[in-house]
């Protein structure tokens, strides 16, 4: 199964995640949903946020040019919000997974779905 298949089937296909990406810890984008226009600098900023939670708490993160406030951040997870939209980032051994929710999607379900894929990655040491 490709990175793209994992994004499409395990995240977007559930209906609980509006946009998603799987990235390497260096910020490289391995797979993303067709509707997620994340650019390399945004993926790099997310990777750096996992290394420097204080910095990302102060500055927030941008996806698709939109600034999100970071509500919680540590070396394993970042949670952000902008009006009715938000995101969850979960780190694994070799990657991080971004799940974005938009209006009409329950944040809790986005978190659970994104976190479940991260748990699977961890279970296979990925």
At residue 30, the pLDDT reads 98
CB under 8 Å to 79, separation ≥6 — which residues?
Answer: 70, 71, 72, 73, 86, 87, 88, 89, 111
What does the pLDDT profile of the chain (126 residues) look like in tens digits? 799 999 999 999 999 999 999 999 999 999 999 999 999 999 999 999 999 999 999 999 999 999 999 999 999 999 999 999 999 999 999 999 999 999 999 999 999 999 999 999 999 999
* Residue in the structure block whose two tokens are 């559930």: 14
* Element (DSSP H or E) covering residue 53: helix 53-59
At residue 24, the pLDDT reads 98
CA gyration radius for the chain? 13
Structural domains in the chain, CATH included, are 3-123 (3.30.450.30)
Quickly count: other Cβ atoms within 10 Å of residue 54's Cβ.
9
């Amino acid at each position: 199964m490709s990175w793209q298949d994992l994004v499409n089937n395990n995240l977007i296909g559930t209906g609980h995640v509006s946009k998603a990406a799987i990235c390497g810890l260096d910020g490289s984008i391995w797979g993303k949903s067709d509707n997620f226009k994340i650019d390399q600098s945004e993926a790099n900023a997310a990777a750096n946020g996992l290394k420097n939670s204080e910095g990302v708490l102060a500055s927030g993160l941008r996806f698709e040019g939109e600034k999100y406030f970071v509500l919680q951040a540590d070396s394993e997870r970042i949670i952000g919000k902008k009006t009715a939209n938000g995101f969850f980032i979960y780190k694994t051994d070799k990657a991080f997974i971004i799940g974005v929710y938009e209006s009409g999607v329950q944040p809790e379900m986005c978190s659970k779905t994104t976190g479940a894929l991260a748990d699977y990655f961890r279970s296979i040491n990925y």
